[in-house]
Amino acid sequence: MTLGSRPAPPAHNHTSRAYFEHATAPRINTDAVLVTSLRAEYPNLHLTVVPHASIDLFGYARSGNAGLAAIDSEKDRLTWRRFIPPATRLEGDTGDLGTELKFGKFLLDWHNTEYIVHIADCRDGSSAYPSLVNQYVLSPSVATTNALLLEAGKWTSTLHAEIWVFDGGYWQKSRELYESIVKASWDDVILDPAMKKSLQADVDTFFASREQYSKLKVPWKRGIIYYGPPGNGKTISVKATMNLLYKRSPPIPTLYVRSLSSFAGPEYSIKQIFGLARRTAPCYLVFEDLDSLVTPFVRSYFLNEVDGIRKNEGILMLGSTNHLDLLDPGIAKRPSRFDRKYLFNNPNADEREQYAKFWQHKLADNKDVDFPDRLCPAIAGITKDFSFAYIQEAMVASLLALARERDEKNDEWYCLRCMENFAASKRAAHETGCAKGRETSWDVSMWIIATQRVEDGDKELEKLALWRQIRKQVRILREELDAGNGEAAEIS
């Protein structure tokens, strides 16, 4: 019997009535109520209950793999209307309205076979609990249902320009993270060339050496730790690695662990993490801020999954941390768990100069910024003990200050007479100068700072507006850095 030959269901849907009657009263098991009702309503069709989390029939159909159409009336459907905030207002986006389906009935057309599919939010209980969404598939036979579910299940478990992210106690697909890593490149990573080459070789060699591991009769698994002060390239190195792995043929997926679940407990989270990693292998399993994830309370669960009886073949683990000393020695120092450790220290003079050249290249098309070659070693010379993140902040703040100065000049904010008087007599002219000069004391101060001589006497550098701003911003950041180091010393 085909679905097309079935008589149309009554206007007031029997299963819809059962769902609403059950949902508006004290509930015990929504799933059992719906199964009973559907079997009574469609006695000649085969019923299969499919959890939405394991097989997303609706996502599979909406991706163009099957036809999908609602076949119930509004009074037999339960939906929520939500406001969706804009991802960004930069392009004038003001948000939109979206519909969240709680209960509905659809006709799914796949390979010339029609399936009736009900979807329902089946949450039961009175305390906090996660949402359980089930799909109820009605078809002429078990075989036709299984064929659909197998293909839709493969699609659901496959990444589609996404990355698996573990956050809040469960795995989810993130297109946003994927879009950020496809822009990451090793060309943008400023590191010692030998270390940079070693980082890439470790990953490439691991995924290309399955046969060698097998011949040596050792487990095909490995662990790496990136550690060191924040802002020195750990994250961009991880992203660049992820991007390269996705470009391989076949691609190597990344599983990115952002946080564990406080609701389900760490043991459940750790099992979920390694469970998907084993099913997905070969894969790149990344633990961001490893020291904050693997706490003493989680340690035993974590080590059991890493060293237990379950095989972790094809899993390359990467843990990043700003505080290697906070990691348990059994994790940081025991071989076969994390075999290699790489220190991402504050950049040396050569690396700081390379980073300045990186910015010079970025600003090459900007006609408003004069950035000659001699400025690169000068920036490296005044940023000793700075991380890449601190140098970046100095560059960004300097460029913004230059842009602000240009705007102020265009609007005739500068009072040149007041500035000249102030430069000559330092305080008196400012106190007696024009009102406009008094209103722009910040600009006057900036002008005085800009006319100070460079310590090394390089008058040519002093002519560069960008250099004058960088010196000022570096001085501010240096004070902040020294203050932070002083507080750390007092705490220790």
In a domain, 193, yes or no: yes
pLDDT reported for residue 284: 96
Q: What is the residue whose two structure tokens read 């906070």?
A: 326
CA 159/CA 141 separation, integer angstroms: 30
Q: Are 174 and 165 in contact (CB under 8 A)?
A: yes
Enumerate helices (H) and strands (E) in the chain, giving the number of each. 21, 13
- Cβ contacts of 429 within 8 Å, gap of 6 or more: 418, 420, 421, 422, 423
The answer to whether position 168 is within a domain reads: no
- Only one residue has tokens 């519909």, namely 99
| 454, burial (CB in 10 Å: exposed 0-12, middle 13-18, buried 19+) | middle
CA–CA distance, 299 with 327 (Å, rounded to integer) = 10
Q: Cα–Cα distance between 115 and 179 in angstroms, integer?
A: 35
331 and 190 part of one domain: yes
Same domain, 312 and 230: yes
Predicted pLDDT of residue 62: 93
Say yes or no: 369 and 316 in one domain. no
Residues 204 and 308 in one domain: yes
Q: How many domains does the chain have?
A: 3
Domain closes at, from 343, 362, 387 = 343
Q: Is residue 169 part of a domain?
A: no
CA 421 vs CA 97, 410, 414, 442: distances in Å: 60, 22, 13, 15
Residue 238's H or E segment, with its range, is helix 234-246
Instruction: List, in sequence order, every beta strand (DSSP E) within 141-291.
Output: 163-167, 170-174, 221-227, 254-257, 283-287
Per-residue pLDDT of the chain (492 residues; tens, 9 = 90+): 445 444 444 445 778 888 877 777 766 788 888 999 999 999 999 999 999 989 999 999 999 999 999 999 888 899 999 998 887 777 777 888 988 899 999 999 999 999 999 999 887 654 445 568 999 999 999 999 999 999 999 999 888 889 999 987 889 899 999 999 998 999 888 888 899 999 999 999 999 999 999 999 989 999 999 999 999 999 999 999 999 999 998 999 999 999 886 666 788 889 999 999 999 999 999 999 999 898 888 888 898 898 877 789 999 999 999 999 888 888 888 777 888 999 999 999 999 999 999 999 999 998 888 999 999 999 999 999 999 999 999 999 999 998 888 776 655 444 444 445 545 554 444 444 444 444 444 343 433 443 444 444 467 788 888 999 999 999 999 988 887 666 554 444
CATH of the domain at 251: 3.40.50.300
Same domain, 333 and 410: no
pTM higher than the cut 0.85: no
Quote the pLDDT of residue 421. 52
**304 within some domain:** yes
Burial of 352 (0-12, 13-18, 19+ CB in 10 A): buried
Does residue 379 contact residue 391 with C-beta atoms inside 8 Å? yes
283 and 397 share a domain?
A: no
Q: What's the angle, vertex CA 294, arms to CA 288 and CA 297, rounded to 5?
A: 155
Structural domain span for residue 483? 349-491
Looking up tokens 């760490």, which residue turns up?
266
pLDDT of residue 456: 46
Q: Assess whether 415 and 433 both reside in one domain.
A: yes
Q: How far is CA 331 from CA 258, 259, 303, 324, 340, in A?
A: 18, 18, 8, 10, 12
In a domain, 165, yes or no: no
Say whether both 111 and 245 belong to one domain.
Answer: no
For residue 408, the model assigns a pLDDT of 67
- 54 in Cβ contact with 154 (< 8 Å): no
Last residue of a domain, one of 158, 186, 203: 158
Is the same domain home to 254 and 328? yes
16 and 42, same domain (yes or no): yes
Q: Is residue 163 part of a domain?
A: no
Per-residue exposure over 354-385, b if at least 16 CB sit within 10 Å of its own CB, e if not: bbbbbbbeebeeeeebebeeebbebbbebbee
Beta bridge partners of 170: 167
Find tokens 């940023």 and name the residue. 383
Rounded distance between C-alpha atoms, residue 115 and residue 136, angstroms: 10
Domain boundary (303, 319, 343) is at 343
Q: 255: which strand partners? A: 164, 285
The per-residue pLDDT for 448 is 41
* DSSP string of 385-452, one letter each residue: T--HHHHHHHHHHHHHHHHHHHHHHHTT---HHHHHHHHHHTTHHHHHS-HHHHHTHHHHHHHHHHTS
Sequence-distant (≥ 6) Cβ neighbours of residue 254 within 8 angstroms: 163, 164, 181, 242, 245, 246, 283, 284, 285, 286
Q: Which residue has the tokens 């932070």?
A: 484
Give the three-class secondary structure for 96: strand
> Does 270 map to a domain?
yes
- Same-domain pairing of 334 and 408: no
Q: Is residue 166 part of a domain?
A: no
Residue 249 shares a structural domain with residue 314: yes
Q: Which helix (H) or strand (E) holds 207?
A: helix 193-207
